[in-house]
Amino acid sequence: MKIRLSHKFIVAFLVIGVVAVTVAGLLIERELKTDLMIRIEKEMAVGARIIALMPAGEITRQAGELAERTRVRLTLIDAAGHVVADSELGDQETDGHLNRSEIQEARLRGVGKAVRYSHTLKKEMLYVAIPLREGSRTTGYIRLSRPLTEITLAINGIRGVIFGIIVLTVIALLLIALLFSLKMLFPIRRLVAFTGKVRAGDVSGALRLESRDEIGLLSENINEIVTTLQEKIQTADEEKRKLESLFSGMSEGVIVMDAENRIELVNRGMEEMTDRPCEEVIGKTLLEAFRNIGLHNALERFRERKETVYEEISLGDDRSVMMDVTISAVRGETGGERKTMLVFHDITHLKKLERIRTDFVANVTHEIRTPLAAIIGFAETLEQGAFEKPETARKFLRTIRENAERLNRLVDDLLTLSSLELGEAKLHREGVRIEEALDQVLAVVQTRAGEKGLTIRKELAGELPLIRADRDRLAQILINILDNAIKFTPIGGTISVATSSGEEDFLTVRITDSGVGIPKGEIPRLGERFYRADKTRSREPGGTGLGLSIVKHLMMAHGGRVIIDSTLGHGTTVSLHFPIFRDSG
């Protein structure tokens, strides 16, 4: 229990006050008492002297009356010490008064006094005696006595007054102390409250104290400290916020592991990459959190070598996310605690591009080798004598030419593609009537469709706007798509070509076949060069595997889009969105 400063203050004040007033009161009382006694003694001595002027017989006779008048006890004692007369006792004889101290003092000094308990009257009495003289001979003594109770009563009266004064003083002191402590302690209380608030962490606001004394100075100092603190905290907060937003905003995933190899911190990038909320992984080991052996092994290797480790790992339940992870020690740590930081970089996209590139090279060589092998083979056979049989020789030569043509087409397509990709292809864009372009193209493909027994239906919606396209390229696009449709539609199927201008700035050409369809998962990859949805399908002569790729790039160059939608076993719809031609544009 804390003792309040104000309590201490009041108690100290009271003790000092009470002691001072009490001491003063006691001194006054003693002084007054002494003074009173002296006065009464003198009074009695004067009275005794007056009585002594009377003749002795007269005193004896009138003792009672005298005593009654002066309300004192009067005793007349002869020289031998016998009581001659006593106002209280009448004529009763009492002896041996000579050795009483007041009588002896009276004989020696002329006046004697004493305070003594009287056995005769059973009271504390004040005695005053004087001798009766005739010439130089002492004939007796007159003694006046008064009970002390009278004096005590008077003294008690004074005591009451003194006590009253003490009580009043104490009350006054109490009030003063209270006021004073309030006035003095109020700022201190506010200081205490304010510093308490600061200690609890609230550094807002300042202390306003009017006082000009040390407390005022103190409060000013505290204000200054708090202001500095405020600034420091604000700076730290800002820094923290900056770091936090950097940490959570960066696209790389970051994990910080503590010395016990448990996950301590995970940023948002990591959460998004792995689809695991941070509360699910914090406090766990890497294996517990991600179940990834590659990651675990990389960390083990880091722990062994104690140097930065780079590793490629695949994450996710189906291992589809490729990550480049860098494991390094967290620097700037004092003390033995060793933390580890893992930075993850998503390289799925890069990996995919890399795969497309290697696939491309492999595919190109494959596509080139097949016709080349045929050419070389047939040429060798001819060389070895087949040319002597004109029938066979013609057949072989035709095959050689066909394969050479296929090679030529492949090279053409590759050139088209690369010029498209490089953005070098020049498009002569003008307003083109889609109906005309379609008629032209359909005339070309009609024979091939006819051979397979396919019907091509044309469903053109009335009046169509012009599209902005390069005539030749447009034909190329349409032929490629229609070729595919014919290729993948079984005998007797139908292909429909429809147009609509549903969208504001685009005209859509939909080419739907009733063919084999494409699995959903393969659709996004169709635009890749040489990509084939059905890997087991033998490569049909004539296709270079670049058709859709070229269409995709051509459409992009036109500012349009290709959307492929397909149901396996039911057919495929290719939607070509062409931008509409505007005179001003």
Partner 1 sequence: MEDIRHTSREYERELQEIRDGLLYLGVLTERALERGSQALLERNSDLARKIVREDEQIDRLDVDLEEKCIRLLALRQPAARDLRFITTAIKITGHLERIGDMAANIAEKVIILNDLPQIKPYVDLPRMVEIGRGMIRKSLDAMVREDIVLAKKVREEDTVIDQLNDQVFRELLTFMMEDPRKIQVCLYIMQISKSLERIADHAEGIADMVIYMVTGKSVRHKPASAEQG
Interface residues with partner 1 (CB under 8 A) are 260-261, 284-285, 287-288, 291-293, 296
Q: How far apart are CA 381 and CA 396, in angstroms?
A: 9
Please name the residue that has the structure tokens 């969208």.
503
Q: List all residues 6 or more positions away from 508 whose beta carbon is below 8 Å from its beta carbon.
A: 499, 500, 501, 502, 575, 576, 577, 578
Look at residue 346 and give its three-state secondary structure: strand
CB-count burial class (<10 Å; 0-12, 13-18, 19+) for 293 = exposed
Whose Cβ is closer to partner 1: residue 300's or residue 333's? Answer: 300
Nearest to 83 by CA among 111, 60, 107: 60
Question: Tokens in use for 107?
Answer: 């004989």
Residue 336 Cβ, how far from partner 1 at the closest point, in Å?
13
Residue 429 Cβ, how far from partner 1 at the closest point, in Å?
46
Phi-psi domain of 453 (left: phi exceeds 0; alpha: psi -120 through 50; beta: other): left
Q: How far apart are CA 208 and CA 223, in angstroms?
A: 9
What is the chain's alpha carbon radius of gyration, rounded to the nearest angstrom? Answer: 66
Whose Cβ is closer to partner 1: residue 286's or residue 478's? Answer: 286
Say if residues 253 and 267 touch (Cβ distance below 8 Å). Answer: yes
Residue 342 Cβ, how far from partner 1 at the closest point, in Å?
16
Whose Cβ is closer to partner 1: residue 315's or residue 386's? Answer: 315
- The angle, 0 to 180 degrees and rounded to 10, between the axes of the packed helices 5-52 and 56-70 is 150
Q: How far apart are CA 71 and CA 569, in angstroms?
A: 150
Residue 317 Cβ, how far from partner 1 at the closest point, in Å?
9
Whose Cβ is closer to partner 1: residue 292's or residue 549's? Answer: 292
Whose Cβ is closer to partner 1: residue 283's or residue 490's? Answer: 283
Residue 235 Cβ, how far from partner 1 at the closest point, in Å?
37
Whose Cβ is closer to partner 1: residue 204's or residue 536's? Answer: 536
∠105-109-111 over CA atoms, to 5°? Answer: 70
Nearest to 12 by CA among 2, 22, 24, 20: 20
Strand-strand pairing, 321-329 and 340-346: antiparallel
Residue 283 Cβ, how far from partner 1 at the closest point, in Å?
11
Residue 285 Cβ, how far from partner 1 at the closest point, in Å?
6
Residue 265 Cβ, how far from partner 1 at the closest point, in Å?
19
Q: How far apart are CA 372 and CA 376, in angstroms?
A: 6
Strands in 112-204 per DSSP E: 112-118, 123-134, 137-147
Q: How far apart are CA 138 and CA 200, in angstroms?
A: 97
Whose Cβ is closer to partner 1: residue 205's or residue 519's? Answer: 519
Residue 255 Cβ, how far from partner 1 at the closest point, in Å?
16
Whose Cβ is closer to partner 1: residue 70's or residue 261's? Answer: 261
Whose Cβ is closer to partner 1: residue 246's or residue 259's? Answer: 259
